[in-house]
């Protein structure tokens, strides 16, 4: 009995250890998961507990709006926002600012006062500089302008736009607001935020064209917020995906900023199980569509518990729009978000795959040590591999795998956004390879990369791919400014990308016993443009198969100073920007 209890206790501990919160899952996705928050609820224990446990981002539902933060012409009221920002910092939550320029929730002194455009401009500039400036470095992103377009794509007429506004026509006032915000905090990401503009339509077209124009002219905009206040009939996923694609292709981020899904409710506020299932699927779809893009960087819900939501008074007969019910029980929508975070495929690009020494990314060679930059799903903490019982580097590390034509590559390290591996030798002879990245058994769609027999890259001392190469003298001391190579000396250059060797390299094996694999392709070296004699080119003792050591005699013709060091293997050359210091 006691044994069984102990086992149960152990099992439940194990369950606890593996239960991942939304913020844990989001951390493995490199995105933020946020909620709109009312600071007056922060001292409610269940509110505080759920918010801080599940989210790594927050924003003020109302507290940062003009009427709340700037209630008198010369009066600012920061207490609520200070509390919110401090709460975020205490709980390692990023803070999103909402919003600086809007037609709603402006104070009466502003809406009812009579101001010339110049005065109105001065008021807005002061507002933006004061608010953004106060939270500079603490609020990482701002909805600078909110809801400036009508559904037909025309600009809304507001106290800020040209009626008479701040004296600028068209999107001029929006541009000006972004410029003021940038100068108030150059580090903050600046967003334009709107609703009914998630998919296709006149409004999303108008926003797209504005962002395109801003990017072309260097107006400082970093992102577009898609609010996503849905009923049970959202825009089609295809149209949302196309819109996110065209926006991120402009080089701006997209964030889902105000997600909620209202459903019919009865007088007691309850929704049917069927509605909640439909709602869950919509949450899952929205998280999934965001995760298709490296440029979609946050998902934020507008509130998180049905206890507090703007929906029921505004859309009577509907509500229950959030992932937790009014008693803080997780709803099907919560599990749907978690499932989408866990199961949506990671995204990789062929351009992200590079030689680990030179960062050349035009092709891969058998046995080349590579880095894949940018996978959108991976371990939050860096893991570095060590050889297993078979003496080889593992092909799975922290639940990560990298496959070339279905063959798992030995891994060197992995962390979200970066994995280093050795291209399996058996890709030799292929002209292309299908590369797939896998995390927690979820695979990316494959990308095609070119395969070439060799792809030499020289390791550099600061791992930048340029400047001083990783070269040792005959006594294994690093060649440097204080220990330059002398003409006639033999130096040891470290590289990768030599291709197939003889004897053949075994994937992931360390070079410990001679004979070490010699590249089948011819190896030659130039220093400062002068041919130098190669005395040895083969695996390096203690390093993994695929790492190459080249011993080379510095020719008597080489001049003094930092000289380009270039390795040719077969028909390919190493980077032209690696150097060696010569006496």
Residues at the contact surface with ligand G3I, assessed by CB under 6 A: 61-62, 104-105, 146, 195, 227, 258, 310
Residue placing its CB nearer to ligand G3I in the complex, 104 or 329: 104
Q: How far is the CB of 206 from ligand G3I (least distance, A)?
A: 17
| Residue entry with tokens 């010339």 | 116
Q: How far is the CB of 195 from ligand G3I (least distance, A)?
A: 6
Helix %, strand %, coil % of the chain (to 5):
25, 30, 45
Q: How far is the CB of 280 from ligand G3I (least distance, A)?
A: 22
Rg of the chain, C-alpha, whole Å: 29
Beta bridge partners of 193: 146, 225
Q: Which residue is nearest to ligand G3I (CB)?
A: 310
Residue placing its CB nearer to ligand G3I in the complex, 98 or 182: 98
- Pairing relationship of beta strands 94-101 and 471-472 according to DSSP bridges: unpaired
Q: What whole-number distance in Å separates Cα of residue 21 and Cα of residue 18?
A: 9
- Pairing relationship of beta strands 561-569 and 578-582 according to DSSP bridges: antiparallel
Q: What whole-number distance in Å separates Cα of residue 359 and Cα of residue 351?
A: 10
Q: How far is the CB of 369 from ligand G3I (least distance, A)?
A: 49
Q: How far is the CB of 198 from ligand G3I (least distance, A)?
A: 13
Active-site residue 198, yes or no? no
Residue placing its CB nearer to ligand G3I in the complex, 301 or 398: 301
| Residue entry with tokens 């504005």 | 210
Active-site residue 147, yes or no? yes
Side-chain-side CA neighbours of residue 571 (13 Å) = 3
Distances (CA, A) of 514 to 276, 428, 498, 503: 66, 23, 18, 10
| Residue entry with tokens 């455009």 | 117
Q: How far is the CB of 240 from ligand G3I (least distance, A)?
A: 18
Q: What whole-number distance in Å separates Cα of residue 364 and Cα of residue 571?
A: 14
CA dihedral 455, 458, 460, 466 (to 10 degrees): -70
Q: How far is the CB of 495 from ligand G3I (least distance, A)?
A: 55
Residue placing its CB nearer to ligand G3I in the complex, 105 or 535: 105
Crossing angle, helix 202-217 and helix 172-184, to 10 degrees? 50
Q: How far is the CB of 310 from ligand G3I (least distance, A)?
A: 3
Cβ atoms of residues 583 and 484 within 8 Å:
yes
Q: Where are the alpha helices (DSSP H) in 465-527?
A: none
Q: How far is the CB of 226 from ligand G3I (least distance, A)?
A: 11
Residue placing its CB nearer to ligand G3I in the complex, 142 or 310: 310
Of residues 538, 534, 532, 535, the one with CA closest to residue 517: 538
Residue placing its CB nearer to ligand G3I in the complex, 28 or 258: 258
Of residues 442, 379, 454, the one with CA closest to residue 411: 379
Cβ atoms of residues 150 and 195 within 8 Å:
no
Q: What whole-number distance in Å separates Cα of residue 347 and Cα of residue 554?
A: 45
Catalytically annotated residue among 175, 198, 258, 368: 258
Cβ atoms of residues 519 and 501 within 8 Å:
yes
Residue placing its CB nearer to ligand G3I in the complex, 62 or 231: 62
Cβ atoms of residues 370 and 353 within 8 Å:
yes
- Pairing relationship of beta strands 383-384 and 369-373 according to DSSP bridges: unpaired
Residue placing its CB nearer to ligand G3I in the complex, 107 or 378: 107
Q: What whole-number distance in Å separates Cα of residue 580 and Cα of residue 469?
A: 6
Residue placing its CB nearer to ligand G3I in the complex, 87 or 102: 102
Active site residues: 147, 258
């Amino acid at each position: 009995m006691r044994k069984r209890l102990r086992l149960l206790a152990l099992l439940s501990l194990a369950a606890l250890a593996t239960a991942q919160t939304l913020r844990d899952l989001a951390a493995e996705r490199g995105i933020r998961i946020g909620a709109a928050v009312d600071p007056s609820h922060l001292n409610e224990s269940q509110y505080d507990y759920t918010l801080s446990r599940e989210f790594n981002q927050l924003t003020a539902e109302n507290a940062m709006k003009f009427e709340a933060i700037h209630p008198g012409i010369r009066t600012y009221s920061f207490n609520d926002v200070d509390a919110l920002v401090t709460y975020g910092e205490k709980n390692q939550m990023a803070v999103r600012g909402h919003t600086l320029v809007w037609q709603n929730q402006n104070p009466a002194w502003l809406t009812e006062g009579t101001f010339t455009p110049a005065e109105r401009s001065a008021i807005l500039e002061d507002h933006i500089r004061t608010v953004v400036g106060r939270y500079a470095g603490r609020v990482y992103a701002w909805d600078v302008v909110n809801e400036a377009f009508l559904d037909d794509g025309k600009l809304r007429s507001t106290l800020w736009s040209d009626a008479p506004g701040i004296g600028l026509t068209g999107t001029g006032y929006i541009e000006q607001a972004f410029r003021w915000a940038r100068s108030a905090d150059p580090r903050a990401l600046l967003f334009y935020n709107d609703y009914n503009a998630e998919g296709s339509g006149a409004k999303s077209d108008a926003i797209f064209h504005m962002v395109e124009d801003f990017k072309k002219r260097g107006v400082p905009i970093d992102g577009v917020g898609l609010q996503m206040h849905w009923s049970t009939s959202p825009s089609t996923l295809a149209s949302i995906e196309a819109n996110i694609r065209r926006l991120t292709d402009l080089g701006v981020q997209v964030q889902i900023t105000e997600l909620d899904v209202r459903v019919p409710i009865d007088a007691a506020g309850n929704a049917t199980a069927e509605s909640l299932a439909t709602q869950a699927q919509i949450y899952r779809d929205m998280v999934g569509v965001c995760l298709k893009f490296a440029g979609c960087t946050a998902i934020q819900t507008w509130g998180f518990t049905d206890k507090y939501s703007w929906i029921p008074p505004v859309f009577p007969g509907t509500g229950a729009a959030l992932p937790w019910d009014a008693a803080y029980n997780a709803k099907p929508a919560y599990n749907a978000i978690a499932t989408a975070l866990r199961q949506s495929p990671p995204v990789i690009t062929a351009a992200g795959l590079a030689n680990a020494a030179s960062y050349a990314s035009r092709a891969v060679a058998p046995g080349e040590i590579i880095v894949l930059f940018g996978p959108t799903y991976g371990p939050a903490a860096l893991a570095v591999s060590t050889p297993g019982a078979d003496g080889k580097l593992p092909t799975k590390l922290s639940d990560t795998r990298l496959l070339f034509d279905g063959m798992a590559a030995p891994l060197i390290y992995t962390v979200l956004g970066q994995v280093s591996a050795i291209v399996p030798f058996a890709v030799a002879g292929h002209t292309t390879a299908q590369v797939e990245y896998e995390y927690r058994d979820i695979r990316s769609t494959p990308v095609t990369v070119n395969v070439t027999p060799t792809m030499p890259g020289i390791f550099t001392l600061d791992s930048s791919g340029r400047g001083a190469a990783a070269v040792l003298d005959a006594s294994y001391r690093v060649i440097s400014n204080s220990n330059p190579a002398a003409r006639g000396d033999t130096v040891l250059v470290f590289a990768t990308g030599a291709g197939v060797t003889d004897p053949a390299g075994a994937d992931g094996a360390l070079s410990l016993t001679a004979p070490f694999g010699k590249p089948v392709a011819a190896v030659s070296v130039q220093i400062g443009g002068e041919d130098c004699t190669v005395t040895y080119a083969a695996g390096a003792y203690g390093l993994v198969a695929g790492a190459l050591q080249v011993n080379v005699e510095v020719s008597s013709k080489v001049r003094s100073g930092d000289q380009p060091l270039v390795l040719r293997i077969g028909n390919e050359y190493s980077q032209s920007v690696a150097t060696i210091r010569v006496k």
